[in-house]
Structure 1
Amino acid sequence: PLCDAPYQAVAEQLGTTEADVLARLRRLLDDKVLTRFGPMFQVERLGGRFVLAALAVPEARFDAVAAQVNALPEVAHNYRREHRLNMWFVLATETPEGIADAIRRIETDTGLRVFAFPKRREFFVDMRLQA
């Protein structure tokens, strides 16, 4: 919820404590049930930029490259695909120029070419989870 104490508000809805909600969330993150937790922003409205990007990663290096890519704060999420471009990730930066910097770092760190696919059109997916 958008309020001063969102975890407390959730705790009240669930009949538990804020500390319990935070502990459960930490456990879900630690157990890799969730990879990230937080708000979603339209970064372009804040002056930043999103780009979908992909790499063709040799299978023997996949885990190591995934760790390198995921270590960057600009990587919003990363997933494997059964395709020549087998690693796909989203870059989110505070400025449009930040995308080029992040791509350069990934290419330098991994030795692999980043294929960047800028957004041409906005799609809205209204995902709601029932409690």
Structure 2
Amino acid sequence: MAYWLFKSEPSTWSWDDQVSKGDAGEEWDGVRNYQARNHMREMKLGDLGFFYHSQKDKEIVGVVEVCAEAHPDSTTDDERWECVDIKAVGPMPKPVTLADCKAEPSLAEMVLVNNTRLSVQPVSEAEWQVICALGGYSQKA
């Protein structure tokens, strides 16, 4: 299993919007960055990701799961762009802010800390565990 982070402006697509889609999930569409698209092409069913609110709050607010692998993005006819579908798994009991991540020495190499603009990014297993601990998130077996 791999881990990821999905960034969204809450005014465009919020955690509540994601939760409202239930187990069917929703396309993570509209991404027009080659690096972010390539990350989505690497994703497999069951991979987990953090749902991050960008803009003013800048915090990880939930956990999502990839429920459909890369496929054409329905928001464009341009075949270069693909996306995955994700579904909400659960909220982060205590949102983990960008400031929290930057203050944690073990997260110094995390993509989020060093490239806050990339909308879809990988998260290492060690980073995943640290952020889950910071947010009080317990993965169910």
- Per the normalisation by structure 2, the TM-score is 0.27
Greater RCO between the two (CA within 8 Å, min separation 6)? 2
* More helix per residue: 1
- Return the index of the structure with the highest Cα Rg: 1
* More strand per residue: 2
- Per the normalisation by structure 1, the TM-score is 0.28
